[in-house]
Amino acid sequence: MKEPFPYRARKYLCQQVTGRRGGSQHRRLDATDWDILLVLDACRADALREVAHWPIETVTSPASCTPEWLGECVSSGVLDAATVVSGNAQYAKVTDELGATVERYWERHWNDELSTVLPEPILDRVTEIADAEAGPAVGHLQQPHWPYVAKLDGSWRLAYDDLGPWADSDGEIDSLQVAMARGHVDVEAASDAYSAAVWSVWDAIAPYLREWLDAGYTTVVTADHGEIFGRARELRLYEHPCGCHVDPLVEVPWVEFRPQTATDAAESVEGRLKALGYAE
């Protein structure tokens, strides 16, 4: 089913005005000597900052949806020579051009009950690749992308359980964006579920980040794009339309975790002694 005309007009205007803004994310990835890259699908920088209790930087993604982001990855070569473990089936469209080895976890680890790929199988495989010294490892997690899943008492559950398809007098709706635009999704409840999904995926990756730091791996956590819920500053748009480069969709998180070297430790001790007033 098509989008309502006023919605489609707003989206078209957004695409014409904001499309192809460029971005700093891929340049920074290219300039960073990382061992592991985690891509959180549809994760806003401000949403992660609210729940992470950790310093979160912001970079600008070159895209507002995954197909667009992957096209930029092909152009920039930022994932060349990496092994990508992905829960996102969009990689099937660019596997031959990407320059990376793609492991199709959307085929091998799909969870029928939750309609997604949970993060732990991907994170476990990323650890195996890093430990085997098989080159850079990328984990493209599905979370916090729709369907919004979150952990409750240690188990993953749907935080918003109406997954459609939806219907009205014009017919069946199988697109989340159209369902939101037509009022078939409780947007405030969905936004709360999204926040729970952001917190849960951060909580899921935290023990892996500690393990990778202990193993001496430099890890970057970022996202391909953000997510929007029809607010005024989001131009009353929903989900993540391609080519709509508004800030909530392209301002994505950037977190680096670097292992401390012996030199770093010595300098840290020296600096702390000086801060306490001890002369050399």
Mean pLDDT, consecutive 10-residue stretches, the chain (280 aa), reads: 88 89 91 98 98 96 98 96 98 96 98 98 99 96 98 96 86 90 95 98 98 98 98 94 96 96 60 68
Q: Which domain covers residue 138, as residue numbers?
A: 5-275
> Residue written as tokens 């109406």?
162
- How many CA atoms does the CB half-sphere of 221 hold within 13 Å? 28
Q: Tokens standing for 126?
A: 């990323």
> For residue 280, is it within any domain?
no
> Residue written as tokens 């918003």?
160
Secondary structure percentages of the chain, helix, strand, coil, to 5: 45, 20, 35
> For residue 257, is it within any domain?
yes
**CA proximity to 196, closest of 163, 148, 162:** 148
Q: Do the beta carbons of residue 118 and residue 111 sit within 8 Å?
A: yes
**pLDDT attached to residue 278:** 67
Q: Which amino acid is at 41?
A: D
* CATH assignment of the domain containing 198: 3.40.720
Q: What's the rounded Cα separation, in Å, for the pair 71 and 83?
A: 17
> For residue 93, is it within any domain?
yes
Sign of the torsion formed by the C-alpha atoms of 50, 207, 216 and 33 = negative
What is the phi/psi pair of residue 109, to 5°?
-130, 30
> For residue 47, is it within any domain?
yes
> For residue 92, is it within any domain?
yes
What is the separation, in whole angstroms, between the first and last Cα of the chain? 73
**pLDDT attached to residue 273:** 66
**pLDDT attached to residue 1:** 64
Q: Where are the beta strands (DSSP E) in the chain?
A: 36-41, 57-60, 83-86, 101-104, 137-144, 149-152, 155-158, 166-168, 171-173, 219-223, 228-229, 238-239, 251-257
pTM, to two decimals: 0.92
> For residue 183, is it within any domain?
yes
What's the total number of domains in the chain? 1
